[in-house]
Structure 1
Amino acid sequence: MSGTISWRRKAVFIGEWLMERTTKSIFYRKYASKQCRSNVTAALAFAYSCAAVSLCAGAVSRDYAAVAVAVPAFVLASVILATKSRLCAVALLLCACADAAMALVGGGGRISGWLLAAGGVFAVRGTFRLHSEYRAFIESNSLSGSFGGVGPGFGAFVPYKAPEKAAAGEAARRRRDAEAAAEAKKFAGRTFVSLLPFAGMFFGICLIWLSISPVFMRLLVCGAQSPEALIRAYRLWYITIVSAVAAAVLLSAACVVFSACRGMITVKAIQIMALSIAFPIFLGGYMVVSEHIPSLIVRAGEDIAQIQSGRLKEATVWLSPKSRPARLPGPYGKGQPEPVTRYGGISRETGGRWVHFYVPECLGFSLDENALYNEDRSIEWNMKNARRYLISCTGNFSLVVNVKPVDL
């Protein structure tokens, strides 16, 4: 009898030793059900495809809002692939829902958010099911559970224990359970802190998206009642973008420092820290550098000073009837407001070349329909029949401050 008990204890000890080293990733590869593996694999493949398409399309069209959502979605899918984390699956779903809500509010018409949300739903379902199978696998092979899938009472008598020994064993078991619960709570807290850089990166990307969103841009420019107010709104927009990028980088860096001090220092944790701080730097830095936003801030300030001093550029030109709504320079996405109208002007004062002028809507300007410039006619005919306009505009953005028709 003693030999049998010793053999069973050794087997259980070996089984528990193996279970402690069976991580969720190893369980996923070796022991998880086929349906569970299929669900997780299909969800991640779908999420990768949607994120990659949105990332490429946003990079080509310079739709930074789409890029700002596709980057964290791609990173979260990579982390789920490596760790099968339920928290990252929920974060992926929230990221996709945020993208869908942004497209709905901004009027961009993107459907990638809804497709990515579908992949997020399947990822959450697959990771939670995998976790349930993993926990059942661990519990069925632990010392506190059954041995070999057969519990006490199934073909065996429960061994007799003296009351004192039973009480002592119960107290020891409760102490072990309390220590295990405290250790599990501590491990969960450290795991959350280790994933905190992802949260910092996500909120930082949201800040960048909000700074270039159509809703925020409309709040700034739609209430402008003068050309000076309009260009001040644009200058404030440029400053807000730079501030949002700086805040995103600082938020990610703060989360990385806190995670390094309070979280687990592992290879995966270091990779998460590096990715979380690299994406805001590269995404925000690329946008700021490629769109020359610091230069735009300086140029807008110079134009404001010109308007205030009255030292504006003046030219008498013919304006082409081929005008269209436009915007001043900046990192635009889809659905952005167009508070100015772009006209092409030409005369001897422009050297016989077409020059663009941007007329704000607040001026209420329109061409004289009875005296339009005709490109197919000669200069002499246009001098007699086409009305010219005296344009006063800024030197950098060619923003028209005053426009007056000249008599024929």
Structure 2
Amino acid sequence: MLSYKKLVVLFCGLMLSLAGLAAAQEGASAPQKKIVLKYANAEGAEQIKIAKEICAAFEKDNPDIRIEMDFMTHIGTITERIAAGQPPDVFMWWGGLTEMQEKGDLLPLGQHVKKNNVNMKKYYKELVDFYSYGSELYGMPLQMNTQCIVYNKDMFDKEKLPYPQPGWTWQDYYFTAKKLTKDMNKDGIREQFGSSKIDTRFFLVSNGSKIIDFEKKKCVVDTADNRIMIEYLQKLRRDCCPTKTESAALVAGLTGVKQDFYTGKVAMGHASAWNLTDYSTIKNFKWDVVPLPVPITGNNRAIFDEACLVISKKTQYPDEAFRFVNFYCGEKGMKIFAAGKDGIPADINIARKEFLKGLPASAKYYLDAADVAKVPMNEREPKLNQAMLIFSKYFDQFYFENRGMDEILKNITWDTDELLKQ
């Protein structure tokens, strides 16, 4: 028979074992604390749905991470948060990373790319190069944006005009737009327009122009070729494009999208690939795509715009943040992203397989342009954005206040040169 002391020892041991088992079971059933990543994205209502779908797919595959989404966040707001020392962990960015990279605001991605065996060759090379400084990568490519002309097929049919074809010129564009601009009820007010406004900077750069020579720190906008192109735009705007007042009247009844072409009363317009997110929803008229016209000066440059995802240097969770960025810009994320038509997916294979679904067949011209685009719309210069504010200010005076070309080019050159001296 067991002694009393032995029974006490066995009983205590049993109680301790049961207590340990209960604690283990309680620990196993307790929910694991999730890491929360803050993600800021500037997109609007339609793209929020796409972004939420990507984030939900990521959270399903990564149950230890929760994404706290902050949408419709303007670049200026993100800049303010960075300056205040409270940046989001991950955020969408476009227009160049140079200023943030030089300030040390961004997490270098090279070691994470290597650690996770990410094949960067699947992305458009121009994007990878654009986001790399030296041998280091700072942005994960998200979208490639090339440029084409969109046109309203119904309007061309109504006016019995042939559709634009590849190889057409900007003079063809003007004469076609002029024919399609009409005062329909002869009351002295135009109701139909041949073209939406063509952005001056885009027009100059895509036609082979150089606006600023950053190496020499000099504004070079005032050239004979540039004057020819600016005169062309002035004539196009005057004869074929809605004024500010006319444009406001066109879009007054629209909710959400506020673009002239979307109204069905503008025949043609320059459109970046990201514009297709809105145009793909058009139901009240047929539309199509054609390549950009042959440059006026003959100096064609295939340009691209872009967007990427970056990680803040201040994030407490660099590995988890990279897992999110890699998923978002990876195969699963890119397939979902492609459905939104918010620019060409940076993954070339996904772009070719998924981007054209639901679009006119001729939207392939956007992909054709992406294959040859070598020149970024935004040069990698910290003072570029400030210089473009000067540019916009004086060209608004030129178009809307009837200031002379000599005056505005002189003012742009003077102010930009002063900026570059700082």
Does TM, scored on the shorter chain, surpass 0.5? no
| TM-score of the two chains, using structure 2 as the length reference | 0.26
Counting helix residues as a fraction of each chain, which structure ranks higher?
1
Counting strand residues as a fraction of each chain, which structure ranks higher?
2
| TM-score of the two chains, using structure 1 as the length reference | 0.26
Asked which structure has the greater RCO (Cα within 8 Å, sep 6+), the reply is 2
Larger Rg: 1
